[in-house]
Chain A
Amino acid sequence: MDNVLSKIGRTWGNTRCVRLMLELVEGRIAQLALLIIVLAAIYGLSRIAQKRQMKTRGIPGLERIDEWIKEAGKLGRSVFYTPGTGGVTSSDTLAGLALLDYVAKHCVEHGTPLIVATADVNVQQVSEDIVKSAYTAAGKGKEFTAETVRYISGRQFAYAAGVMGILRREKPAVNFFVGDFSAEALEIAEAGRSEAIYQFGGTSNVDQLPYFMATCDQTLIGAELYTAQGFLSADPEATSTLVGPDAGKVLAILLILLGAFLLTFGNSILVDLLQL
């Protein structure tokens, strides 16, 4: 087995004039194989879903975002949005910014004032670009001001204090807390709860999810954060991508069951294989 692995693991190649040494990193070979299999499964299932135009279950609350924003506009109150304390390299933040795009467009459409608060300078720039583009595309570029997208602080609790202050002073009707959050999640959600009509939360940080569940009317849990964009899109290709990750989940379940079964009878071959 070691001989076979060492032959797979290392490759000497000779191009015409340059020697190339490729070596699979030990401990990550099984990961790579699993990644390729999962990606293939996700792609395959997405294609099947697209061809058969499969319908998926809805995420409660996502369909009502437009309605909430319209109601806030009618009441003359604002909408508050924050993508959390993560940086642009955080997947949760990127998912939060994708939803900000949707919220910004609908706020502009209904004439509802939007306030965005950020905790990272790079996220602030991206958010400003997203919101400004939404205003500009609707021909309302002049309504966008420097106070629409505000950088609060890079420090977690300075940001929390700043956001709590905005929520208490501006009293927005609808609050969106979607992105990468840490311990400040409960503070800002609880501060917003007293004045807001609706609160919408979302993060994949399992430590903060219970707090959002307790304080928000709707919460995007874990994987739903990344599929929200697909749910809100009318594009069948985007909808089909919602189904893809389910293939990976099925594979994970099968591996877990197989591994548990084998380990129960004292066979650790699957564990050894996955540690390659």
Chain B
Amino acid sequence: MNPSNLRSDPRLIYLLLILVITVPILTHSVLPVPVSSTTQALYDFIEKLPANSLVVVSFDYPTSVVPELHPQAIVVTQHLFMRPLKVLFVAQYQDGPALADAVLDAIDKGNKTYGVDYATLGFIPNTATFIGMITNIPQFFPVDTHGNPVNTLPIVKEFPAGKQAALVITFSAGEPGLLDYLQYWQSSFNIPVAVGATASNAPGYLPFYNSGQLVGILISIRGAAEYEILIHRMGISGATSAMVAQSTSHLLIVVMVVFGNVAYFVERGRKKGVAK
């Protein structure tokens, strides 16, 4: 295998990557996953929330990142429904309401009732609504996604303002997303915020966790796998079954990088020998 061929025609790399990802998934391999501190922090925070607290869950990702963030949304929502909490679902992306419905279909809702224990308010179209709902939800969300007047829902009668939330969880793929919640909700009203992030965005959010502005971070599909273990619902989101595939693909990248460097040094040594 000539390294320079791989640089100009990387199809062999692509083929190897397909193999190391598809074989573990098709064979349903499972791997135990240690839980990271940022995931554990979010789990502990939700566990310690007082009963009947309001949690706002925001779907701030498009359909393209469903494989990374949707499993997180499923496991966290399941955890929220396992506890005696009230949940409001909103979205800063147009795809959010449909994805929220998909998550609600995927989880076990137990004896939770729509309108009493949870409600889907829908898409937040502009900053005015985003800021306004902090103080007055019915004014800025006249109807929910099912067409019901929001001020008739018991959960909104009990919590008419977003600032009454004990926690905001945003599944964020970029902007709009986490930064808006930090800017308007956390900094002005001290509402605790947590985030479910993609692998590429997570390093940028870690400074906020470090400084205490975030109470927890779920990082990519691995965060969902870790959370499945914490809530003892393995397989609910499909994340744990992806961990072997993730491991093998990461190892392949490491092997390819090491191979590329070895080949680079061998070639350099040969050129120096020829020059002499």
- Contact between chain A and chain B defined by CB under 8 Å: yes
Q: Mark B140-182, 1 if CB is under 8 A from A, else 0.
A: 0000000000000000000000000000000001100000000
Question: Which of B44-52, B74-82, B196-204 lies at the binding interface?
Answer: B196-204
Q: When the two chains form the complex, which single residue of B64, B65, B187, B204 contacts A207, counting CB atoms closer than 8 Å?
A: B204
Chain B residue numbers with a CB within 8 Å of A64 are none
Residue interface bits A21-43, CB-to-B below 8 A is 1, else 0: 00000010000000000000000
Report chain A residues within 8 Å CB of B200.
Answer: 183, 207-208
A275 to chain B: closest residue by CB: B187
A218 — which chain B residues lie within 8 A by C-beta?
Answer: none
Whether the Cβ atoms of A156 and B203 lie closer than 8 Å is no
Give the number of chain A interface residues (Cβ < 8 Å).
Answer: 9
Contact A27 B204, beta carbon cutoff 8 Å: no
Residues of A within 8 A of B238 (CB): none
Contact (Cβ within 8 A) A207 B62: no
A interface, by DSSP: helix, strand, loop or mixed?
Answer: loop
Instruction: Give CA–CA (A156, B198) in the complex, Å.
Output: 15
Indicate whether A157 reaches chain B with its CB closer than 8 angstroms. yes
The answer to the question of B111 belonging to the interface, with a C-beta cut-off of 8 Å to chain A, is no
Which residues of chain A (64-102) have a CB below 8 Å from chain B?
none
B residues less than 8 Å from A182 (CB atoms):
173-174
Write the residues of chain B forming the contact surface with A, with a CB cutoff of 8 angstroms.
Answer: 62, 64-65, 173-174, 187-188, 198, 200-201, 203-204
A residues neighboring B (CB under 8 Å): 27, 155-157, 182-183, 206-208
What are 22 A-B pairs with beta-carbon distances under 8 A?
Answer: A27-B187, A27-B188, A155-B62, A155-B64, A156-B62, A156-B64, A157-B62, A157-B64, A182-B173, A182-B174, A183-B64, A183-B65, A183-B173, A183-B174, A183-B198, A183-B200, A206-B203, A206-B204, A207-B200, A207-B203, A207-B204, A208-B200
